[in-house]
Amino acid sequence: MKLFDVYPLFNIEPVKGEGCYVYDKAGNKYLDLYGGHAVISIGHSHPHYVETIANQLKHLAFYSNSIQNPLQQKLATLLGKLSGCDEYDLFLCNSGAEAIENALKMASFYNGRTKIIAFDKAFHGRTSAAVNITDYEKAKAPINKSFQVEFHPLNELESVEKSLAKNDVCAVVIEGIQGIGGIHMPRPAFLEALQDLCQKYNTLLILDEIQSGYGRSGLFFAFQYANIEPDLITMAKGMGNGFPIGGVLIHPKFKAQHGMLGTTFGGSHLACAAGIAVLEVMEAENLVAHAGRLGCYWMQQLYELEGLTQVRGSGLMIGVEFPYSVGDLRKELLFNEFIFTGSSSDPNVMRLLPPLNLQTGQVDYFVARLKKVLQVKTNQVLSSVAV
C-alpha cells in the first residue's frame, strides 16, 4: 500500500527533537522556528512531558468517556488557572477542526440558526463545517457547502454589522491572530465592537485560538489583548506539544445536556497526561510572559533588517513579509542554514512559530543567518544588474 499523496514533502527525515532543535537521520541539527505548524509549545521531548506521558502509559493509556477520569478535571483546573478563563467549562476533543465543529454545534444549538460569518484569509480546519468557514476553496467538496457562510474583510465593522442586522447569523468565527492567512491581527477595538454587535443580534462570538492560543501571543489567548469574553474558545495545537488534543471552552451561558457533544478518544488518560504536563511546564517556566518578551525583542531585531516589507505579530507568532515570494528564501534557510521556518497562504509571508522556550541567543542566531542570506541575495541581484 502507498500513502495518499496530499502533502508536498521536504526531503528531510527528523528522528529526534530536543528543546528548540530537531535532528535528522544524517545527524544534521536544525533550529526549529516552526514547531511543526505551531504545535510544539514547551519544546521537543521536554523531560517533564516525556516522564508524565511515560508514567501514564505504564498505568492506563485509555478508557472511554463513560467512567470517572480525574485527569480531565485536573487538566481543566490547571487550564482555568493559567488562562484566566476559570468560569468556562471545558469540552475535550482531538484536534483543531474537531474543536471548531463542536463550537459551531454549540452555537447552533443555542440560537437555532445556521448562517456563519468568517473573515477573508481565515483558516479553521478541514472537516465538514470547519472547511466551509475556511477561505480556501480548493479544500471544499460540494458536501461541505451545507450552510451559508459570508466572508468579510478583517477589521472592517461596517459590512459585518450590515449582515448581523438581518438577525439570522448563528455565529461570528474569528482567529485570535490569523495564522495560515499570513499573521493578521484583529484590532482590540474591532473585537470589542464585534462582541457588542454579536450580543445585540443574538449571534455567538467564537474565538479560534487553535494557533494563537496557549501562550503563543504573549498572553494565554490572543483575544485577551481586547476586553472581551467570547462565547466559545477553540484550542488545539500547543495544548499537547505534539500529542493530539483539542478543546472548546464553553461560556457558562450554555447549558450542558447529556449526548449533545461526544467523542471516543477525546480526553483520554494519555491525552490528559500530555495536556497537564504542558500546562505544568508553562507555569513552572513562565513561558507565556517569556513568549511576550522574546517576541518584542525579536520583532525589534527584524524591524532593523533591510529588504523586508513588514514585520507583524505578537509574542512568538510572527509574520515577516518580503517584496517577493519566500519559497526560495525558506529553502535556503532550511538546507544551507539548517533553520525551519513556516509558509502561509500569502506567498510573500514567512511565519515564525517556534517553541515558547526559544532563547535570545537562538533569535540572534536566526537574525544573523537571515541577514547573511538576504545579503547574498542582494549581491546576486546587484551583480546581475551590473552584467
Ligand X SMILES: Cc1ncc(COP(=O)(O)O)c(C=O)c1O
What does the binding site for ligand X look like in residue numbers (CB under 6 A)?
37, 95-97, 100, 123-125, 175, 179-180, 208, 210-211, 236
Complex with ligand X: residue 149 or 363, whichever CB lies closer: 149
Q: Where are the alpha helices (DSSP H) in the chain?
A: 35-38, 47-59, 70-83, 96-111, 128-132, 157-164, 188-200, 269-284, 287-303, 327-335, 360-386
Backbone φ, ψ for residue 323 (5° rounding): -80, 15
Shortest separation between residue 179's beta carbon and ligand X, angstroms: 4
User: 242 or 295, CB closer to ligand X?
Assistant: 242
- State in angstroms the smallest separation of the CB of 387 from ligand X: 43
Name the residue whose CB lies closest to ligand X: 96
Report in angstroms how near the CB of residue 191 gets to ligand X at its nearest: 15
Q: Which is nearer to ligand X, 107 or 373 (CB)?
A: 107
CB 167 to ligand X: min, Å: 27
CA proximity to 274, closest of 40, 6, 10: 40
- Give whichever of 243 and 373 is closer to ligand X, judged by the CB atom: 243
| Nearer Cβ to ligand X (131/333) | 131
**Rounded to whole angstroms, how far apart are CA atoms 96 and 83?**
18
Q: How far is the CB of 19 from ligand X (least distance, A)?
A: 23
Of 210 and 350, CB closest to ligand X: 210
- Over the range 196-222, which residues count as b (16 or more CB within 10 Å of their CB) and which as e? ebbeebebbbbbbbbbbbbbbbbbbbb
Question: Cβ of residue 301: shortest distance to ligand X, in angstroms?
Answer: 25
**Cβ-proximal residues to 363 (8 Å cutoff; 6+ apart), any chain:** 294, 297, 298, 301
